[in-house]
Structure 1
């Protein structure tokens, strides 16, 4: 399906003056689409609005939402990528106050991950690349993803479905394209993302659902030793739902009952 730029089919390339291209000056959202419906749309739009506010990008979320809905309807099924940039400017970091934010919509086929990832769990690669600590950008899904690009280039072995990323202080943060949860004594733990990392939409949804289910949840710093002591470990994102982690280095975990329970909730969230 043809991409859209600012609500219109893109018959040409985006402007070479776009600050998203030059500086990564923008944000993006990746949404699963089923039966013409963009899933978890409210959470995606909330995160986008928060990101635009923090980066001072004056985007019209009502227009963006309307375009996403129309594009998803035309797609039918697949993965929709929404990019919002600050727009065009001349050379230099300073942005023109007249710059108009640009909206880009792209379609991809449905993600084709092995069913075994969800049923049997995955093996996690230990990434050497560390996430820099930058509170001003922490949590945002901004366009500069070079840390993830470098981390993903570290392995080619298909035995590894994802990689574990830590920050420069050694704290456990997330996967390369997922958020990480661990279970200990029936409680749920996920990393505090005030220094670095991406605050995923599925992560946010699972935290809300856990509270509704009366599951104790903790958003906190996670050390490597805490990872070693976990009873269960799983990854999540808004396209595939939940993948249990069965192995990491010399460590192994069962696919535990809380992981299975939350996996069922995630499947419901990704259904229409």
Structure 2
């Protein structure tokens, strides 16, 4: 069902009891559809939601029309139950909406400035990796700055381990190896990250901020924006912690953009 109002007793609206996916669609063709559907299914199973008819989702991208669009798909447990107690026989409810999209292309080639967030993510392995609807931690973290010159915020967990950015995954190169944080305690297991791991060697590691500061290059990635090289990292007070030179040939960004159909070079 397309974007229509949810009833006040919908559990996704009331408690964040559901999952969602945000999918880049190019001329009616979804990008990384397999990865998005796999994560959606993983989230449905993790929350013990009744499985909706996933085949019904297959027709949605073609309805997005020409051009570059973002398809947002939400699945909730539906209504019922008493308080936090879910209904014994839930009837899941799903909605979808489409919006036009234009990526910020200069960030691909000029890099971005990012900051460290003060907020620390709580560890909850049962929710780690999936894209559930209860994103208040990310909202509070993004609320920490209003400066448009800061593109993103880096998040650590309660044990001071690197996790992700507020809406993107984090990858860096250190001693010739690509690394990304382990996401078994918290964070979102990105679909672009998953796709890249099938074609590029990326080690998942549990490390602190010092490891990122020791890297010789770093990127933020997701399946809508593509890959942004990090140019500068500040602390939460705006003090520069590290600057990185932009590479003349960014093989990692190019590998990411091959997955999404984005330009590999400025002249493309």
| Count of matched residue pairs | 256
Residue 175 (structure 2) aligns with: 185
SS at match of 1:262: helix
Structure 1 residue 208 displacement after superposition: 1.3
Report 1:72-87 matches (<5 A).
72=64, 74=65, 76-87=67-78
The residue aligned with 1:214 is none
Q: Secondary structure at the match of 1:84?
A: strand
Unmatched 5+ stretches in structure 2: 235-239, 263-268
Taking structure 2 as the reference length, what is the TM-score of the superposition?
0.90
Equivalent pair of 1:190/1:222 in contact (CA under 8 Å): no
SS at match of 2:124: coil
- Aligned mates of 1:271, 1:116 — CA distance in 2: 16
Distance (whole Å) between structure 1 residues aligned to residue 116 and residue 229 of structure 2: 16
How far 1:107 moved relative to its partner? 1.1
Give 1:266's aligned residue.
Answer: 256
| Secondary structure at 2:198 match in 1 | helix
Q: Pick from 153, 172, 197: which aligns with 2:187?
A: 197
How far has the Cα of 1:62 moved from its partner?
A: 3.1
Tell whether 2:230 aligns with 1:230. Answer: no
Name the CA shift for 1:136/1:75 in 2 (closer, same or farther; >3 Å). farther
Structure 2 distance, partners of 1:271, 1:15, is 38
Change beyond 3 A, Cα 1:77–1:120: closer
> Over aligned residue pairs, what C-alpha RMSD do you find?
1.8
Q: 1:28 aligns with which of 11, 14, 20?
A: 20
Residue 61 of structure 1 deviates from its aligned partner by: 4.8
- Aligned residue in 1 for 2:100: 109
Instruction: State which of 114, 118, 142 in structure 2 corresponds to 1:128.
Output: 118
Q: CA deviation at 1:75?
A: 6.4
The aligned residue for residue 218 of structure 1 is 203
1:157-176 equivalences under 5 Å are: 157-176=147-166
Q: Quick one: distance in 2 between partners of 1:42 and 1:137?
A: 21
CA contact (8 A) 1:44 1:201 kept: yes
Deviates more, 1:155-164 or 1:98-107: 98-107
Please, which of 45, 49, 57 is the counterpart of residue 53 of structure 1?
A: 45
Hey, what does 2:84 align to over in structure 1?
93
Unaligned runs of 5+ in 1: 212-216
Match among 122, 125, 143 for residue 133 of structure 2 = 143
What CA distance in whole angstroms lies between the structure 2 residues aligned with 1:152 and 1:121?
19
- Give the structure with the larger helix fraction: 1
Identify if the C-alpha distance between structure 1 residues 52 and 168 changes in structure 2 by more than 3 Å, giving closer, same or farther: same
Question: Structure 1 residue 91: deviation in Å?
Answer: 3.7
Identify the residue that residue 244 of structure 1 maps to in structure 2.
229
3-state SS, counterpart of residue 174 of structure 1: strand
How does the TM-score come out when normalised to structure 1? 0.89
Q: Secondary structure at the match of 1:65?
A: helix
Quote how far apart the aligned CAs of 1:16 are.
1.6
